[in-house]
Structure 1
Amino acid sequence: MAALVTALVLLFFLAGYHFYARYVGRRIFGDDDPDFVTPAHTLQDGHDFVPTKRPILFGHHFTSIAGAAPIIGPCVAAYWGWLPALLWVVLGTVFMGAVHDYGALVISVRENGRSVADIAAKVISPRVRLMFLCFIMVLSWLVLAVFAMAISGLFITIPTSVLPVNISIVVAVIVGWLLYKRGVGALVPSLVALVVLYLFVWLGTKVPLSLADVGMDRGQANLTWILALFVYSAVASLLPVWLLLQPRDYVNSHQLVVGLGLLFVGLFVAHPDFDAPAIRMSGENDPGGAPSMFPFLFVTIACGAISGFHGLVASGTTSKQLDKLEDARPIGYGSMLGEGALALASTMAAVAGIGLVGFCALPGQGQVADLSWAVYYDSWAHASNNKAAAFVLGGAAFLQELGFTPVLAQTLMAVLVISFAATSLDTATRIERFIVAEIGDALKIKALTNPYVATTIAVIPAILLSTLRVADADGTVREAGWALWPVFGASNQMIASLTLLVLALYFWQRKRPVALLVIPMIFVMAVTMFSLVLHLLEFWAAENWLLLGLTLVLTSLILWMAGESVALFLGRMRGRDQSGQE
């Protein structure tokens, strides 16, 4: 049953690309202009603006947007059963998330590679631009912190993943040098890089690298990895995009696509039944303690259906590398379908693969003799604390159906999670540098436009969020980034709704039909506002003033931006009516 449902979803994704994306592109975005010259050519500087071939840029964009969130979110949301999670991943991806990403890329390219926040100043007001930038800056710090903590945790838990993940940096630099300095064609370096990366996955099982071997406890190891990750991401964000960021994303994309393909083949070979119920109803199989399915399912899955972070990537780095406007559909819409496929794989690992696991060890639950969905999701606390473990365990069970050993299967699954997160980490740092520089430009603070100053401001708060410990909503003391995770999903999707708002106003002003932008914008904004209000009440009741204050600030910024946008729309509608009467 699970294999049949998976096949139907993949076919639906394919149909969405060939029919819905083409319709939206021609009817709304106007991407069928062969004479349009992209900013990668008009502003080419060899550093940020670099015309890039479609396959290479697809690899950069796909791996940058597909971080840890579309893996963690569906794993947690599987608590409510397989059907709600699956429906939101499928419908959200095709009709909302992919359209959002595609549109953000198109308008940024049409506006000389400017960010969505910068374009908001043009279509709404300069005040909205500044508020949008501040909102994005806070969200990006949280993204950086969460991804760094996820990577660090997996490095510590699965030390066999350390070598294969880090060798990709060396491979990427070599590939970048061959492609851009030696003029070598992409095919041979790509194939060699893919073989090398998978060879090192196997070598990683033979040479695990654990900081415990040099006398570090878990806390010291966690701090060391987090600092190392942010040093790497800071350096990567300052280097020319062709040297490390772009080629690493490119070579990793091949590894990740092959890994996803193996997962789906393993799923089809295993042909498992769903181990989870379709919907977890209140009653005997619901232990309580979980938030309500509506609206929290939507913000928990977050990036697996629609993500504001994707718009930041599209308008932050990808638009500056787009070779032709016609490449926007396969890169913008197509990459989001790839992320939807990742969220689908994560969901299936959690609701079907988990029943194939057998013996394992789970954080907070200890040794489990016979793992099942009912055991893994026996409480909301376990579901939310175990995070991506369901993907690693369930996905490894699928790979074992193909003859992988348990150690090799779990290592490959951990490498997939870390690689998705790591390629988003360095891109997010680069985007945060751009955002800080834009804020400096808006406030006339020249120092903030300095790349080194902007990068420092990008990483220091993220390091603090990754290392400082605070109480979350239920009183549990944990890293600030994990404590803020419930706010991340809502804030991320709120940025998506605001991006859809900017898109709607932008194309409405150009006499384009915008209903297919306005409908998802209203839905996502309503759901996320509802969840933020519930979070405010929860944090107030728990007297958690840190989370309450941050959520209140974010909610206020959202209401202000939405209010200015509505006022602008109504004012221009009145202007149209008056001109029509004249």
Structure 2
Amino acid sequence: MISMLGFSFLGAVLPLWSFAMPINYLGFYVAYFVIAAIIGSSFVAPQTFAQPLFTNWFAPVSIGAGSGLISTISFPLWPLLFVTIACGACSGWHGLIGSSLSSKQLDNEADAHFVGGGGMLLEGILGLTSVVAVGALTSTKGGALSLYVIGGAKYLSNLLIPSAASIAIMALMVLILGLTLTQLALRFARLAISEMVGRRFLKNIYVTSIIVSIITFLLTSTRFSAPWGFIWTLFGGSNQLLAGVTLLVTTLWLAKIRRTTLLTGIPAVFMLGTTIVALGYTAYATLDIAMTTSTPLKIYGNAVAGGIAVILAILGIVLSYDGFRAYRRIRVGAVSAPSMTLGPMLAKAVEAETPQPSLANEFAEK
């Protein structure tokens, strides 16, 4: 844990080009290899799904971490399915990455479509490999990550890779993904605190990174019963809420430049609605556990998780309402031309859509 936090601390304070970018670049070759190997193995030696395609409209969800602290609730398939797949379907994390990091690393604005869209498509393919890896197992007892490692190793073994090496490769991929997410999450937390809090000393990247590292340690360390297990339940909902907000902002921007908004507006409504319902259901379940259990840490952990879920659900409702009002104002013409500065490609696109005065019109006006 300490070594991972130290690694993430470096990723939070060092320039992107000197640490995060080369680490991610080298590490994700392993991820690409695993994805390609699982897909290739599916053609070389197709697996038979051992798990049923459908079991129930309700699925068990575990909340908490640690001995005697885990509670299981029954969650409806909708909205559970969407907040569980999360980044594999529609990723708010990618919306966050695209706006704050990826956009600053592009050599050319024209590459944004390929980088952003390609990254999301690869994430979807990674999600599919997770499904087929676990679906081919005859037993699903154990943690989610261990099941993915074992299932993926089964596919790699069909390519004549030794079983021990296959498990090592899958475990290395999971470790790389964990390190990447941890260092980027620490960096985003540092940026968020620096921007939202007006205190001058919190503008220091080292001070904010140390504070975030301490909070992370307190939440994840087994010395403090790892209360992150309660909050982790909200990851899918918070991630999809970011996805809905990203789609909402994109829809408003497209409306401002007088472009069609159906391709982003309909998904935005669905994502925000699904996420708010998921967060509301999670809040109800966790607060119910907090009020009915007698274990102090379970009461505390579920109460905190439920409180955060309530806050996120309220924020989702407020943002949805504000977004709807803004969209109506744009449509009725209360808001004129876009106020943001457009890039060269978008500026040309807007200019092409704007009617230009002709010589005949000028002569007629004179």
TM range (shorter): 0.7 to 0.9
> Structure 1's 572 and 261: CA in aligned 2 closer, same or farther, altered over 3 A?
closer
> Structure 1's 571 and 467: CA in aligned 2 closer, same or farther, altered over 3 A?
same
* Pairing 1:246-395 to 2, within 5 Å after superposition: 246-281=21-56, 290-352=74-136, 354=137, 372=138, 375-376=139-140, 382=141, 386-395=143-152
Native 8 Å contact 2:255 2:330 kept in 1: no
> Structure 1's 503 and 551: CA in aligned 2 closer, same or farther, altered over 3 A?
same
Runs of 4+ aligned residues of structure 1 deviating over 6 Å after TM superposition are: none
- Compute the displacement of 1:392 (Å): 0.6
C-alpha separation between the residues in 1 aligned to 2:124 and 2:318? 31
* RMSD of Structure 2 on Structure 1 (CA): 2.3
Is residue 154 of structure 2 the alignment partner of residue 402 of structure 1? no
Correspondence for 2:200: 446
SS at match of 2:53: coil
* Pairing 1:9-88 to 2, within 5 Å after superposition: none
> Structure 1's 521 and 236: CA in aligned 2 closer, same or farther, altered over 3 A?
same
Correspondence for 2:178: 421
- Compute the displacement of 1:345 (Å): 0.9
C-alpha separation between the residues in 1 aligned to 2:56 and 2:44? 31
Larger Rg: 2
C-alpha separation between the residues in 2 aligned to 1:348 and 1:536? 31
CA deviation profile, 1:192-250 (whole Å, cap 9, x unmatched): xxxxxxxxxxxxxxxxxxxxxxxxxxxxxxxxxx1221111111221222222111111
Native 8 Å contact 2:28 2:176 kept in 1: no
Structure 1 regions of 5+ residues with no counterpart? Answer: 1-225, 355-371, 377-381, 471-477, 578-582
SS at match of 1:291: strand
- Compute the displacement of 1:333 (Å): 0.3
- Compute the displacement of 1:469 (Å): 7.8
C-alpha separation between the residues in 1 aligned to 2:2 and 2:223? 16
Native 8 Å contact 1:539 1:548 kept in 2: yes
The residue type equivalent to 1:400 in the other structure is S
The residue type equivalent to 1:530 in the other structure is V
C-alpha separation between the residues in 2 aligned to 1:427 and 1:546? 24
C-alpha separation between the residues in 2 aligned to 1:252 and 1:339? 15
Equivalent of 1:568, from 305, 308, 326?
Answer: 326
C-alpha separation between the residues in 1 aligned to 2:21 and 2:57? 47
- Compute the displacement of 1:574 (Å): 4.5
Correspondence for 1:187: none
Correspondence for 2:263: 516
The residue type equivalent to 1:536 in the other structure is A
- Compute the displacement of 1:289 (Å): 6.0
- Compute the displacement of 1:321 (Å): 1.1
- Compute the displacement of 1:567 (Å): 2.9
The residue type equivalent to 2:14 in the other structure is L
Native 8 Å contact 1:300 1:486 kept in 2: no
Correspondence for 2:209: 455
Correspondence for 2:339: none
Q: Structure 2-normalised TM-score?
A: 0.79
The residue type equivalent to 2:206 in the other structure is Y
Correspondence for 2:298: none
- Compute the displacement of 1:282 (Å): 6.3
CA deviation profile, 1:325-371 (whole Å, cap 9, x unmatched): 1111221000111111111111100112x1xxxxxxxxxxxxxxxxx
CA deviation profile, 1:508-530 (whole Å, cap 9, x unmatched): 11112111111110011111111
Percent of matched pairs sharing the same residue? 30
Correspondence for 1:549: 307
Equivalent of 2:220, from 435, 459, 466?
Answer: 466
Correspondence for 1:505: 252
* Pairing 1:424-439 to 2, within 5 Å after superposition: 424-439=181-196
Correspondence for 1:482: 229
C-alpha separation between the residues in 1 aligned to 2:87 and 2:268? 15
Native 8 Å contact 2:255 2:331 kept in 1: no
The size of the alignment, in residue pairs, is 312
CA deviation profile, 1:420-463 (whole Å, cap 9, x unmatched): 221222222222222222213xxx33222221122223322222
C-alpha separation between the residues in 1 aligned to 2:305 and 2:222? 14
Correspondence for 1:235: 10
C-alpha separation between the residues in 1 aligned to 2:151 and 2:215? 34
Please say which of residues 544-553 and 565-574 is displaced more in the overlay: 565-574
Native 8 Å contact 1:504 1:514 kept in 2: yes
